[in-house]
Amino acid sequence: MLIVMRAQATEHEIAQVCAKIQSLGFRAHVMPGAERTAVGITGNHGPVAREEFECLSGVVEAISVSKPYKLVSREVKPDNTVVDVAGVLVGGPEPALCAGPCSVESREQILESAHAVKAAGARLLRGGAYKPRTSPYAFQGLGEEGLRYLAEAREETGLGIVTEAIDTETFDLVEEYADCLQIGARNMQNFSLLRRAGRARKPVLLKRGMSSTLEEFLMAAEYILSEGNYQVILCERGVRTFADHTRNTLDLSVVPAVQRLSHLPIIVDPSHGTGKRDKVHPMALAAIAAGASGLIVEVHPHPDRAISDGYQSLYPDQFRELAEDARAIAGLLHERRSSRDTVFAS
Ligand code: PEP
Ligand code: MN
């Protein structure tokens, strides 16, 4: 159920609606918008009587939400959400560019990577200190030591840090250091981890599970929002198909599909999406052309020596070209859209 407030509704009227929701044992989610504020209700297992709300001051109407996901849906919040990650706006007019190695391997490696990706045009640094690996014998990440190196890289470069939290046990630690917490593809339906991310005070980057449908993807995001964290960025990173010319099949059609159903920003990971260095640049540009709000790209100063995902990691110079081309395409599309809007408006 969604309670739509009048455009001029006061703070007090909104607070009264929230108090009413809480008195029924449900949770209230205030969703401010450009035109009006709405208050979403979660926690109810059956229908809620709309008359209970429609008589309250400042309420226009109470409407039931038809989709299984509520808080992530455009029905509840028509305006796009813009997520602020350490001053970088994801979902704003410019594509948000995040780059860095798959894993934090050493202090020198992450510092060198951070300087290189910054010089090449990235605004955010990626790098896993805790790695979800297929083999228990593969490098699992440096843990807290890796987080400390990431923090040092942030201090030196000013880049915001995006890093993965793989379980609830280490979540607190990752939350302390990260500017944005990544939930990886393998954990997209780890519901206790999603709930924990929903209680975090930092933005979350939620990657699509490798065989998940659009609805499962949005329901996973719903777990995070339902706990009160509305700062969620979705990320397409490829899905499993019969195709074997790439590691995964990058499903770019999910970008407009998400944008139609949800207000959350979606970015694309062309590195895991293709698994091949030579496919990263073209697919990154295709993602921007499809309307993605940003890119997360694996870049390593010495990909041949990378401990994980070297084959799909770009050299810093390749990332520089990618960043320039991605910005050029986004700028061109923005310009054309604005000039069309001006023509229509006149
Ligand atoms: C990663 O970003 O390095 C990673 C493990 O990604 P994914 O969860 O998409 O496989
Ligand atoms: Mn990786």
- Which pLDDT does position 66 carry in this prediction? 84
What's the average pLDDT block by block, 10 residues per block, for the chain (346 residues)?
Answer: 95 97 96 92 91 95 91 95 98 97 98 98 98 95 98 98 98 98 98 98 98 98 97 98 97 98 98 98 98 98 98 98 98 92 73
Determine, yes or no, domain membership for 153.
yes
At 143 the pLDDT is 98
CATH code at position 7? 3.30.70.1140
**310 in any annotated domain:** yes
Contacts of 158 (CB under 8 A, 6+ apart): 118
What is the pTM assigned to this prediction?
0.96
Q: What is the pLDDT of residue 343?
A: 74
Q: Based on the domain organization, do 51 and 87 belong to the same domain?
A: no
Q: What is the pLDDT of residue 312?
A: 98
Burial class (CB in 10 A: 0-12, 13-18, 19+), 137: exposed
17 and 54 inside one domain: yes
Q: Are 105 and 302 in contact (CB under 8 A)?
A: no
77 inside domain: no
Give me the pLDDT at residue 346, please: 63
194 shares a domain with 93:
yes
Q: Is residue 74, in this structure, part of any structural domain at all?
A: no
**CATH number of the structural domain spanning residue 287:** 3.20.20.70
Judge whether 45 lies within some domain.
Answer: yes
pLDDT score of 118: 98
- For residue 300 and ligand 1, the question of a CB distance below 6 A is answered with no
Ion ligand 2 residues within 5 Å by Cβ: 102, 309
Domain around 328: 83-335
Structurally, how many domains does the chain consist of? 2
Do 176 and 308 lie in one domain? The reply is yes
Predicted confidence at residue 46, as pLDDT, reads: 86
Residues 139 and 282 in one domain: yes
Indicate whether 90 and 216 sit together in one domain.
yes
Q: Which amino acid is at 343?
A: V
Specify the residue with its C-alpha closest to ligand 1, atom 10: 185
Residue 223 and residue 283 share a domain: yes
Return the sign of the alpha-carbon dihedral for residues 170, 175, 177, 178: positive
131 CA closest ligand 1 atom index: 5
**CA 272 to centroid of ligand 1, rounded, Å:** 7
| Ligand 1 atom with the shortest distance to the CA of 237 | 9
- How many CB atoms are closer than 10 A to CB 265? 23
Assess if residue 9 is contained within a domain: yes
Query: Closest ligand 1 atom, CA of 182?
Result: 2
